[in-house]
Structure 1
Amino acid sequence: MASLRAYVGRPSGPELAVFISGVASMGLEILAGRIVAPQFGSSIYTWGSIIAVFLAALSLGYHLGGQRAAERASDERLAWLLIGTAAYVALVVFASDILLATAGAVPLPGRFASLPAVILLFGPPTYLLGFISPYAAELSDTEGVGAASGHVYAVGTVGSIVGAFGTTFALIPAFGVETIGVGFGLLLVGTALWLTWTGERRKPTVASVAVAVLVVGAGVSGSLGVSAGGPVLYQTQTPYQELEVTQLGDVRTLYLDGQPHSAMDVADPDRHVFDYTRYFHLPMLMTEDVDRVLFVGGGGFTGPKHFAEEYNVTVDVAELDPAVIDTAKRYFDVAESERLNVHNVGGRQFLRETNHTYDLIVLDAYKKDKVPFQLTTVEFMRLAESRLDADGVLFANLISAPSGPASKFYRAEYRTMAQVYPQVYTFPTAEGSVVQNVEVVATKSDRRLTEDALQRRNERRAVGIDLRREITYYRSPPPTDDVPVLRDDRAPVDSLLDPMVGRRYVVQRNAENGTGQSSQRDRSPVGVREKCGCVRHRAVTVSP
């Protein structure tokens, strides 16, 4: 115990370098998911690529470092390795968008699309960090090769644990990606300075100062860009996703992991900026006496606000991410009231625990490349069905293609819902087979409503919005023989989403007031934004 206290109080230079390299390597690995996700999503394939690249780069560094340690190991060499890693981190902070775009141009199948980007951004710095442990083992005062190696790798593993927990539970919830990257760069530079400060090694000391300036400069310049959605009003890393609020003209947009999720016209808050939110009102034509509505997923609360304000109903919202709730209240005029109740809890947990039944449940928690599989399975659909009244309706806002190879997720979800609900309806929101919002509506009624029947109900019922055009997007049931029923023990959502990688996600934008009728020519597509430091105006689509 005494020797442990002595070690903790006075770590040697090589031991400190090993500890910091563990902190940085695992911290960068966690951070890699946030940097890559806006471009390639955060599917199991992305995370598999991240883990594999980090392990491969570290292994190569361990191997070559072990071969060279006997001849080259020194405190000065350790310092140069740390400085080189910090310099590359500065490059990642400053030019990650350019590097991601360059790597994304490599023609690969969708599930491997993120691999070149991960290699380019994180392979070199992780490789350099791999040299540190064998060099430190060579410099260790511990007697015996086995004892020295075991001691060094134990110290490095402790550093990795600190890096994993610290980045996950402290840094990402509190700071942006650029700030965290700058922090890791300065930590590496500071360790290099500590290794060389007391000696006569002027070159690494001067280089450390220069790289520290480079790291800080990269962080400052990286935070000055303008999103494609306009000037950034707010940006943060939440425990679940990257969150950004932008405003272009009067339109304020919420981006989650780089994809537009909600929008509000600050000059006309009643307007449905994104056309798909008009479809949320279709269930009002499929059932009667709607008194209580549940939204699973909040975002900018476009749907919940409209229902609470326009109908005599009580609206519950289950939103898992507390930062989304706070952002909606701060930037999207969301205020809780007797009619609008916000619950910071996951949708499935809320449905298990609630004692309410609903006339309408809206599932609005799906993204193009990250779908909570627990909200897609037949077991979940049965749970939702048990919380619906006898004439209740389930509405799912999916992002998929209505046909073609990129339609697998939509068709699998349709087949899964059809296992539980007698009638399931489909309403795409754009022409063709592009990736778009596909609205799937399920009812507990055995009677199937035709397009003509819905049009007649639209003419008779005063639901506050004219849905004639939306009803014309009524589609026949899709073929489902080649897709699975999603179950809790087998829900291959990532493989079903795979054909959408690299495809445009088209969000139709409505040019008129939410209670009016917009013509086809006013429905301008708004693509997923690209963090390029520029502004893209309406009628533009870009590849995600």
Structure 2
Amino acid sequence: MASTLSASALRLSKPEVAVFSSGVASMGLEILAGRMIAPQFGSSIYTWGSIIGVFLTALSLGYHHGGRHAASRASNDRMVKVFLATALYVAGVIFFGDVMLRSAVAFPLPSRFASLPAVTLLFGPPTYLLGFVSPYAAELSEKEGTGEASGHVYAVGTVGSIVGAFATTYFLIPALSVAHIGLVFGLLSIATAVYVARPSIGRERAGRSLAVALVLVVAAASGGVGLSATGNVVYQTQTPYQELEVVDRGDTRTLYLDGQPHSAMDLDDPNAHVFDYTPYFHMPLLMTDDVDRVLFIGGGGFTGPKRFAAEYNVTVDVAEIDPEVVRVAKEYFAVEESENLNIHTTGGRQFLQETNRTYDLIVLDAYKKDKVPFQLTTVEFMRLANDRLDEDGVLLANVISAPSGPASKFYRAQYKTMSRVFPQVYSFPTQGGPVVQNIEVAATKNGTHISQAELAARNERRDIGIDLSEEITSYRDDARTDDVPVLRDDRAPVDSLLDPMVGQRYVVGEASESNETTANESDADATATAGAASDAIRAPEATRTAV
């Protein structure tokens, strides 16, 4: 008798299954929304605020309208229709999501609200439909009394939301693509509809369920309209941190993170510089002497670390937080760990806090146009980096911003913050004009000022395997900082500083072949050059080949 009661207590009723599934789907779709919206609008606090606000608004409207009509309309049949309609809309999101995103950009809104139309268009309707489930389930509940019925329904729905949040975050996103995650929630909705309709599902309902399931599968199999970057998509996945794509176009392989080009490799020459900002990683070699150990914070396609490890007699450490980025770099970007190249799968700040090593050069290459880990921008982080640099060490930050104009706020705030810790700070915009671009900001522990002329002279004397004369022409040693804050751990308004860049084109050029030189063209030439021996960094033991 006791076992019969226990089994009965554990068996969920149809309304309970419905409200549990709606909780799983609504929270799962909310987390998925962040991944779909990020490539177009970024993943700033404004984007996530829009996502949370739209989902709460849509659910509230669904609760309200469903509650008004629950007494007269609530039925299992109506819940079946709600779940099938939700699944069908999710199929549309999978197939037309990218087109809908691009069309939503046309709305004339301030940049911080730019993602609102897209989130509303893609996820407002299915979330609104799922909002009907809870009041319908409360009306159909077997519990006695309105309070007990509603409390039980919302408790079950909340448990579903918890399951949806954890399952999507820890299992679905690391394992599946956006389209396949959408397929999972669509099929969940169809399965719930079938469960609620049983045992007399009927031929008509079965046919509708099968038709919607077929549409979902076709949409997921197609990958959607215009979801991938132009070119041959070699590999695509969702990592715990970002959307990742490897795309081949001609002889160039590009790594895209959240839809933006992050690194590129020449398939014929894996160590060559493809993007025009990566040669600037060598600029600190003209600012300090005797570089033995280098740390890169942020790996991506490992353009800089590969080049340094291959060409210089130095030890290169890389701190890359995303293990999937490391795996992809090894499989698709010719990255191999060695005595000279060590990869640590951890955050940059955490690595600096835990290591007891010091470095001659730290390259901070973990920023994106619209997603900057604020903990790597603050004055406290700069002090930590300063402590991990040798006496004549250099910190180089690859900042994505504009050198002037409204979109320059983040660059100028970063410049001001670095200036609070380091005695000398220089910057090198990689493009002409006030467009959003890579700006290399170099800070030295040595207080001696280095002029543009001195840099040019050192470029002539030193043998660093690359000609930086063109890069030196963009030299700056000051920036207007009176209207931007110093970034601190307790106040780093990075999102608001990045806000003026929303909607602006991020310009990345190709590296010029003219700045690549053969390192050891002639021992006689090197000996004859005055001051070359004292100025040179540690050169490789073998002759390097021009790339």
The residue matched to 1:275 in structure 2 has which SS?
coil
Bigger mean CA offset, 475-484 vs 498-507: 475-484
Aligned to 2:55: 54
Aligned to 2:411: 410
Aligned residues: 517
Aligned to 1:124: 125
Distance in 2 of aligned mates of 1:496 and 1:95: 32
Q: 1:442 to 1:223 in 2, by over 3 A?
A: same
Aligned to 2:544: none
- The answer to whether the aligner puts 1:285 opposite 2:258 as a matched pair is no
The residue matched to 2:88 in structure 1 has which SS?
helix
The residue matched to 1:402 in structure 2 has which SS?
coil
Residue identity matched to 2:343: V
TM-score normalised per structure 1: 0.93
Contact 1:366 1:372 in 2 (8 A): yes
Distance apart, 1:208 and its partner CA: 1.1
Distance in 2 of aligned mates of 1:4 and 1:159: 24
Q: 1:126 to 1:5 in 2, by over 3 A?
A: farther
The residue matched to 1:485 in structure 2 has which SS?
coil
Contact 2:20 2:157 in 1 (8 A): yes
Bigger mean CA offset, 323-332 vs 2-11: 2-11
Contact 2:319 2:344 in 1 (8 A): yes
The residue matched to 2:240 in structure 1 has which SS?
coil
Aligned to 1:399: 400
Aligned to 1:173: 174
- The answer to whether the aligner puts 1:354 opposite 2:355 as a matched pair is yes
Aligned to 1:525: none
Within 5 Å, give how 1:79-118 maps onto structure 2: 79-118=80-119
Distance apart, 1:451 and its partner CA: 0.7
Within 5 Å, give how 1:466-505 maps onto structure 2: 466-505=467-506
Distance apart, 1:513 and its partner CA: 7.2
Residue identity matched to 2:179: E
Residue identity matched to 1:354: T
Q: Per-residue displacement from partner, 1:346-395 (whole Å, max 9, x unpaired)?
A: 00010011111000000000000000000000000000000000100000
Distance in 2 of aligned mates of 1:160 and 1:7: 24
Bigger mean CA offset, 195-204 vs 247-256: 195-204
Distance apart, 1:15 and its partner CA: 1.1
Contact 1:276 1:429 in 2 (8 A): yes
Distance apart, 1:204 and its partner CA: 2.8
The residue matched to 1:491 in structure 2 has which SS?
coil
Q: Per-residue displacement from partner, 1:112-168 (whole Å, max 9, x unpaired)?
A: 000110000000000000000000111111111111111111111110000000000
Within 5 Å, give how 1:234-273 maps onto structure 2: 234-273=235-274
Aligned to 1:142: 143
Residue identity matched to 2:152: H
Aligned to 2:538: none
Aligned to 2:448: 447
Contact 1:402 1:428 in 2 (8 A): yes
Within 5 Å, give how 1:193-232 maps onto structure 2: 193-199=194-200, 201-222=202-223, 227-232=228-233
Aligned to 2:527: none
The residue matched to 1:254 in structure 2 has which SS?
strand
Distance apart, 1:97 and its partner CA: 0.5
Distance in 1 of aligned mates of 2:133 and 2:93: 21
5+ unaligned residues in a row in structure 2: which ranges?
A: 519-547
Residue identity matched to 1:502: G
Distance in 1 of aligned mates of 2:201 and 2:341: 67
Within 5 Å, give how 1:330-349 maps onto structure 2: 330-349=331-350
Residue identity matched to 1:134: P
Residue identity matched to 1:171: L
Aligned to 2:306: 305
Contact 2:98 2:224 in 1 (8 A): no
Contact 1:196 1:205 in 2 (8 A): no
Bigger mean CA offset, 93-102 vs 472-481: 472-481
Aligned to 2:72: 71
Residue identity matched to 1:16: V
Distance in 1 of aligned mates of 2:172 and 2:9: 24
Residue identity matched to 1:362: V
Contact 2:87 2:187 in 1 (8 A): yes
Distance in 2 of aligned mates of 1:221 and 1:169: 25
Contact 2:292 2:313 in 1 (8 A): yes
Distance apart, 1:250 and its partner CA: 1.1
Contact 1:229 1:253 in 2 (8 A): no
Residue identity matched to 1:392: G
Q: 1:45 to 1:224 in 2, by over 3 A?
A: closer
Aligned to 1:541: none
Distance in 1 of aligned mates of 2:4 and 2:18: 20
Distance apart, 1:226 and its partner CA: 7.5
Distance apart, 1:514 and its partner CA: 6.6
Contact 1:21 1:156 in 2 (8 A): yes
Q: 1:80 to 1:514 in 2, by over 3 A?
A: farther
5+ unaligned residues in a row in structure 1: which ranges?
A: 518-544
Contact 2:279 2:511 in 1 (8 A): no
The residue matched to 2:155 in structure 1 has which SS?
helix
Distance apart, 1:323 and its partner CA: 0.3
The residue matched to 1:168 in structure 2 has which SS?
helix
Distance apart, 1:6 and its partner CA: 3.5
Whose Rg is larger? 2
Q: 1:131 to 1:281 in 2, by over 3 A?
A: same
RMSD of aligned C-alpha atoms? 1.5
Residue identity matched to 1:453: E
Aligned to 1:364: 365
The residue matched to 1:506 in structure 2 has which SS?
coil
Distance apart, 1:222 and its partner CA: 1.8
Distance in 1 of aligned mates of 2:204 and 2:156: 28
Distance in 2 of aligned mates of 1:11 and 1:316: 54
Aligned to 1:379: 380
Contact 2:98 2:226 in 1 (8 A): no
